[in-house]
Amino acid sequence: MSWVNTVLVAAQRLGVEREALLAAAGIAVAELQAERWPIDYITRLWRAAAQLTGDSGFGLKAGALVGPASFNVVSYLLQSAPTLRESISVVQKYQRLISDGGRLQTIAGAQSSWLVYHPRQGSLPFSPHQIEAVLAAMVAFAQWVSGSAVRPLKVQFSHSPIGAPGDYHAALQCPVEFDQAFSGVLLDNALLDAPLPQADAQLAQVHQQYAAARLAALSPPETLVQDLRRWIATQLHGQLPSRSKAAQALGLSPRTLARRMQAQQLDFSTLVDQARREAALHAVAETRQALAEIGQSLGFAEPSTFWRAFKRWTGQTPAQWRLQQQASQSASEE
């Protein structure tokens, strides 16, 4: 609900009371007690706020209100991170604790890096005020985390300008471009990697444990197996994925992951074996890669170990399987 409160406060500062704004958005006041809102509720709130305030720079002004209390527990993690780049990584990892409305991507360059915002909209198209608020919030966030004035090298939006030039300059303090391929903020790498004054590794660990527990509570149990399978599939590069690293990637403590897997009768070794099987069948049938290399890439120390596992999966050796798949493909092409 972080963004909901930000929109309500920004609108109230421009003379629109909370009840009137919610009514215009078709949202009951009682919904403020909910822990999270559907994405379309947020979009309706933004649209109503822009309409009632009549302010073309509403999104920019709302984003500039972002401060230490805006992101609940994530705020504490941000303030204890060692660098601004690490703070951004925290936001990316715990994005769902802030909002379901989009994700952040970092595109690193030699001298500077883009922080790109990818909106995730529901049935309603995003209001451009929402996107402008997020990018203005990125700049405000960088300033309060670093404790100093931050001037991006450039900010760009995928939409056409909706506000006055002065509004963009006041909120972003840098050149702004419109109708671009993506919406994002370009920051100097020296700024991103400079030590932050409030860095505290021990405090960050405490906050991370709490944030991980909150994140786990948001994820429906039925998604755990899909999340694990997806992550395991990306890790099969010559070594076996570990459950501790899986927990870290999913934002969970090892104990929490173990407890949730036990509740769903999931076995990590079985999931890894299934992922190796799928990858092996595809590689043997669809590529010309040497069979021994395939086994090594999937974490099998010896070709003989890979051969035994493959025969357990299919009843055939990798060579027999490849020949069979090639024969089947040739027959289907005739």
In the numeric block, the tokens 């051969």 are attached to 307
- 27 and 105 in one domain? yes
- Asked whether residue 203 is assigned to any structural domain, the reply reads no
- 305 and 237 in one domain? yes
Per-residue model confidence as pLDDT tens digits over 283-313? 888 788 899 999 898 888 899 999 999 999 9
Both ends of the chain: CA-CA distance in Å? 59
CATH number at residue 37: 3.90.1520
Cα 113 to Cα 4, 187, 282, distances in angstroms: 29, 5, 36
- 258 and 171 in one domain? no
- 254 and 154 in one domain? no
- 224 and 183 in one domain? no
- 90 and 40 in one domain? yes
Q: What's the rounded Cα separation, in Å, for the pair 201 and 146?
A: 16
Per-residue model confidence as pLDDT tens digits over 114-162? 999 988 777 788 889 999 999 998 898 888 877 777 889 999 999 999 9
Say if residue 19's pLDDT is above 90.
yes
Higher-pLDDT residue of 14 and 75 is 14
Tally of domains within the chain: 2
- Asked whether residue 34 is assigned to any structural domain, the reply reads yes
- 133 and 240 in one domain? no
- Whether the CB-CB separation of 169 and 151 falls below 8 Å is answered with no
Q: What's the rounded Cα separation, in Å, for the pair 46 and 37?
A: 13
Helix pair 318-333, 303-314: axis angle to 10 deg: 50
- Whether the CB-CB separation of 231 and 249 falls below 8 Å is answered with yes
Q: What's the rounded Cα separation, in Å, for the pair 198 and 175?
A: 30
Residues 6+ apart with CB under 8 A from 307: 295, 317, 318
CA 69: distance to chain centroid?
Answer: 20
How does residue 86 score in pLDDT terms, banded at 50, 70 and 90?
confident
Characterize the bridge pairing of strands 183-188 and 154-156: antiparallel
Fill in the DSSP letter of residue 66: -
Cα 53 to Cα 3, 12, 203, distances in angstroms: 17, 9, 41
Residues of the chain with pLDDT > 70, as a percent, come to 90
How does residue 216 score in pLDDT terms, banded at 50, 70 and 90?
low
Determine the structural domain holding residue 227 and report its residue range: 219-334
Average pLDDT for the chain: 84
Say if residue 69's pLDDT is above 80.
no
Fill in the DSSP letter of residue 86: H
- 241 and 120 in one domain? no
CATH number at residue 282: 1.10.10.60
Characterize the bridge pairing of strands 154-156 and 112-119: unpaired
How does residue 68 score in pLDDT terms, banded at 50, 70 and 90?
low
pLDDT of 73 reads: 65
Per-residue model confidence as pLDDT tens digits over 155-206? 999 999 998 999 999 999 999 999 998 899 999 999 999 988 776 667 667 6
- 182 and 253 in one domain? no
- 124 and 237 in one domain? no
188 DSSP β-pair partners? 112
pLDDT of 301 reads: 87
Higher-pLDDT residue of 22 and 248 is 22
Per-residue model confidence as pLDDT tens digits over 220-234? 555 788 788 878 887
Higher-pLDDT residue of 264 and 15 is 15
Copy the structure tokens of residue 108.
Answer: 């690193």
Please report the sign of the dihedral spanned by the C-alpha atoms of residue 84, residue 88, residue 89, residue 93.
Answer: positive
DSSP 251-313: T--HHHHHHHHHHTT--HHHHHHHHHHHHHHHHHHH----HHHHHHHTT-SSHHHHHHHHHHH
Say if residue 53's pLDDT is above 90.
yes
Give the residue-averaged pLDDT of 208-218.
69
